[in-house]
Amino acid sequence: MGKLTQISKAHTIKTLSAIQSEVESINRIALSVDCVIFGFDENKLKVLLIRSDLKKFQGKWSLLGDLVDPGEELDAAASRILKQRTGLDDVYMEQVKTFGSINRHPAGRVVTVVYYSLINIQNHKLKILDNEIHWHDVNEIEELAFDHKQILDCSYQQLQRRVQEHPLAFSLLPKKFSLRELQNLYEAILNTKMDRRNFRKKFFAMDFLVDINEMEQDVPHRPGKLYHFNYNKYEKKKKKWVGIDF
Amino acid sequence: MGKLTQISKAHTIKTLSAIQSEVESINRIALSVDCVIFGFDENKLKVLLIRSDLKKFQGKWSLLGDLVDPGEELDAAASRILKQRTGLDDVYMEQVKTFGSINRHPAGRVVTVVYYSLINIQNHKLKILDNEIHWHDVNEIEELAFDHKQILDCSYQQLQRRVQEHPLAFSLLPKKFSLRELQNLYEAILNTKMDRRNFRKKFFAMDFLVDINEMEQDVPHRPGKLYHFNYNKYEKKKKKWVGIDF
DNA sequence: GAATAATGTGTTAATTTTACACATTAAAGC
DNA sequence: GCTTTAATGTGTAAAATTAACACATTATTC
């Protein structure tokens, strides 16, 4: 008996209900969503992890994930996980890749769709109540439960690529930020040092920064100017790019 | 009762079998793989489509896909579909994205992991026996069954991006090719016209082309030189890039 | 008020990308 | 076989982008 879309071989026109029962009888694969939640604090790129609840991985850290509800969109599942864990919605999120190795999960075949999100740690510092959840330096993570280290690496690489094409990184900063903070963020994500003057030039040229006529407070040195990111302007420009650059 | 990875809320250590039964009882989502198979012929970028076997989409074209076997890797499923439909293995393939809208499939919840592949049409022209399968100009496709138009658009965009970063496109050409053919291919994929001299300069500078001291045969004009693509050299260089450019 | 440490700013060199023209060669047409 | 035609093959100069680099200014700290 052919499988769902293999049917075309015989090429008879099937009724929906025939296919429906095929779907139900054949499928023994569970579907989950895992979230790689990035944050930025103390000039380090961080990722939110939880202690694994499986005996096999006892003591190990893992990404935040959950099974997808049969009636739930994939994006919605990712949002839900994020909301449950951080209390935040309206967060930048992007699908990364789907991981489906046969033995990636000890409980059976679990295929997982991975998303990364970018959140501002300060915003939700108080909302993490579960004391089994912690922020970890991305660059200091050696091992994770399941295949989560591989997933993290893949997501981190995608973030590094994307952040050079689109100014996503602002999602990791508070609304008001100085250029030094912005540069520290980029240096943390890309793991490089950059020239301060060229960095400033580049961002001013992009024309997404709004000078809000405020200065940093309580910094142990000469305070820098504070800026907003103009999301509207960015979205408008992005539309013009579609099909050209990306 | 919490779902698989939601368990961490209560944070008891569960046994595997407890989780296994959760997985089995909860999951009602089918998983498929769809392949966007690109080819290049008559200076046009093509995609391989099959007539839909569903009444709802009768007459409409769709991508080649199939349900994933519970014991089958995702990549393997994509390879299998390709092999079944074209007779080819050892083909360039890349995961694109996973599509999981609730109502994307009339038979129920079917989440599909999408791959694109690049194949050389000449190589396997004789292997497509099923007369319900045809090549279509990518740029002339208006409508497809399911959400396959959206999937195609997404895959095509990803191909366009990737081809500018890595010389993937060679997979679409025969082993021996002229620079004109190569440029026609890039122009077809990117939907642009390019300067012939700059194009040649760029590819010679990459240093992946091997002059095989042969000329085109049976062309209605002055024959051009033929080249091979040096995959080994490319793979070596790619390793040096890792973490720097990509 | 002197020392410190960060902010803020412009110019030049180097590299990369784009634009552009003419001689050469084989096929096609007469 | 001679002419016409249409493509191949090649180099250089301008333009745009990116990288390198130094000093005056300002608030804080001591």
Give pLDDT tens digits for A91-149.
999 999 999 999 999 999 999 999 999 999 987 765 666 778 999 999 999 999 999 99
Contact across the interface for A4 and B95, Cβ inside 8 Å: no
- Ranges of chain A whose pLDDT falls below 70: 1-27, 125-129, 241-246
Q: For residue A116, what pLDDT is reported?
A: 98
C1' of D9 to CA of B73 (Å): 48
Contact across the interface for B67 and A27, Cβ inside 8 Å: yes
Q: Which two tokens stand for residue B1?
A: 């009762």
Query: CB–CB of A13/B76 below 8 Å?
Result: no
DSSP label of B127:
G
- Which nucleotide is nearest, taking the CA of residue B219 and each C1'? C27
* CA proximity to B133, closest of B50, B40, B34, B46: B50
Taking the stretch 185-204 of protein chain B, residues with Cβ within 7 Å of any atom in nucleic acid chain D are 196-198, 200-201
Q: For residue B11, what pLDDT is reported?
A: 41
pTM here? 0.89
A92-99 and A110-118 beta bridge pairing = antiparallel
For strand C, give the nucleotides within 7 A of a protein CB.
5-11, 17-21, 24-28
| CA atoms in the 13 A half-sphere facing the CB of A18 | 13
Question: What is the interface size between A and B, counted as CB pairs within 8 Å?
Answer: 185
SS3 B231: helix
A-chain residue closest to B158, CA distance: A246
Q: For residue B246, what pLDDT is reported?
A: 33
CA distance A202 to A208: 11
Asked whether residue A222's C-beta has any atom of DNA/RNA strand D within 7 A, the reply is: yes
E-state strands within B68-106: 92-99
Q: Touching check for A104 and chain B: CB below 8 Å?
A: no
| CA atoms in the 13 A half-sphere facing the CB of B74 | 31
Q: A67-70, long-range: CB within 8 Å, 24+ apart, which pairs?
A: A67/A30, A67/A31, A67/A32, A67/A110, A67/B3, A67/B4, A67/B5, A67/B6, A67/B23, A67/B26, A67/B27, A68/A31, A68/A32, A68/A33, A68/A113, A68/B29, A68/B100, A68/B111, A70/B27, A70/B28, A70/B29, A70/B109
CA distance A206 to A211: 14
Contact across the interface for B98 and A29, Cβ inside 8 Å: no
Q: For residue A22, what pLDDT is reported?
A: 53
Other beta carbons within 10 angstroms of residue B99's beta carbon come to 23
Give the closest of B26, B69, B246 to A67, CB-based. Answer: B26
B-chain residue closest to A159, CA distance: B246
CA distance A85 to A64: 8
C1' of D11 to CA of A217 (Å): 58
Q: Touching check for A111 and chain B: CB below 8 Å?
A: yes
Q: For residue A122, what pLDDT is reported?
A: 85
- Ranges of chain B whose pLDDT falls below 50: 1-12, 25-26, 243-246
In DSSP terms, B73 is beta-bridged to none
Q: For residue B214, what pLDDT is reported?
A: 95
E-state strands within chain B: 30-41, 44-51, 61-62, 64-67, 92-99, 110-118, 133-137, 209-215, 225-229
CA distance A48 to A138: 9
C1' of C15 to CA of A165 (Å): 20
Contacts of B84 in chain A (CB under 8 A): 6
